[in-house]
Amino acid sequence: MKVLGGTGNAKLTEEIAKELGVELVLPEFKLFANGEQRIWIPKKLGGQQVILVQSLAAPVDTHIIQLLLLIDALERLGIKQLFLVVPWMGYSLQDKVFREGEPIAAKVVAQLLSSRNISRTFLLDLHNSAIAGFFEGPNTHLSTLDLFVDFAKRQDYSENTVVVCPDIGGLRRAQNFADKLNLPMASMEKQRNLVTGEVTTGRIHGDVSGMNCLVYDDVIMSGSTLVKTAQALKSNGAKKVICLASHGVFTKPIETLFADKLIDEVIITDSVEQRVAHKKITVLSVAKLLAEPISEYL
């Protein structure tokens, strides 16, 4: 059994190998002069079980092609079984058609990764759980819910605390989080311009005055929505705004999140590798969360 990965999240790949107690194989990644990727796996893996890890983070298209090339290379090496781990699935927010003429990009990517030679794909906190159905092969959709619940309990968020759902689409996710912590819940009204992508926040449903607000979501992209949410909460008397999100994509510099001093803390996982550390950001490891269900199939 071997573990290898692309360049999408090398640190997490290494941690998963450690959790499983198996050898980590390091492929060689180079570029041809015309910009095409050149990949080589310098290990004979014929007849072995292989776990392939790749987060589809920026540059997203590069990491998708890289993953497809790795899958083909492994197939040609004659491996026995291939297990694919995608901690963060790029294009997953494009899970439906908003305007005529748009693709369902999440489905396109899922079908690209649906090789008949993949025994099982492991996915983590998809933006919409229905995306798992776009994959043609068997898959396991894992949740970071308990990881964040355990973290919140260690911080003793018990008094004067409320869970906040930043938009109606994540209502069930936030409610499950609130129920496990035995906390009340509030929700935000949010509207998105389908052309520009700009988000406007509306009324807050629930009492947040004097409360520590745990804003629970699946992903932070640019962070602009989170900042507007924090602004609305603080304007309504919130004491602290703490954001917990499975995936920290951060398409803008992290400093922009804290520029207005509205957000007090951010907790994310390492599903997307963070190149820059920040004192107000805590990163939780998902290596064990991913390794445990994988081990059941080995």
Decide if 191 contacts 200 (C-beta within 8 A). yes
Amino acid identity of residue 32, one-letter, is: F
Q: Residue 159's pLDDT is what?
A: 82
- pLDDT value for 95: 94
Strand, helix or coil at 11?
A: helix
How would you label 50-64 residue by residue, b for 16+ Cβ within 10 Å and e otherwise?
Answer: bbbbbbbbeebebbb
How many angstroms separate the CA atoms of 132 and 126, rounded? 8
Residues making up the chain, counted from first to last: 298
Cα 280 from Cα 257, distance rounded (Å)? 10
Type of residue numbered 95:
D
Q: How is domain 2-142 classified at the architecture level of CATH?
A: 3-Layer(aba) Sandwich (3.40)
Residues noted as catalytic? 190
Kindly report, residue by residue over 40-61, the tens digit of the pLDDT.
999 999 999 999 999 999 999 9
Whether domain 145-284 has CATH 3.40.50.2020: the reply is: yes
Q: What are the sequence ranges of the domains in the chain?
A: 2-142, 145-284
Say how far apart CA 227 and CA 243 lie, in whole Å: 10
Distances (CA, A) of 223 to 28, 82, 243, 273, 298: 34, 35, 11, 17, 39
Residues 201/193, Cβ–Cβ less than 8 Å: no
Give 202-213 as a DSSP string. Answer: EEEES--TT-EE
Q: What are phi and psi of 212, to 5 degrees?
A: -85, 120
- The pLDDT value given to residue 141: 98
Q: Do the bridges between strand 2-5 and strand 49-53 make them parallel or antiparallel, or are there none, so unpaired?
A: parallel
Residue spans of the chain under pLDDT 70: 190-202
pLDDT of residue 297: 86
DSSP codes joined into one string, 122-156: EEES-SSGGGGGG-SS-EEEE--HHHHHHHHHHTT
**CA-wise closest residue to 86 among 12, 169, 29, 170:** 12
Q: Token match 């005529």: residue?
A: 100
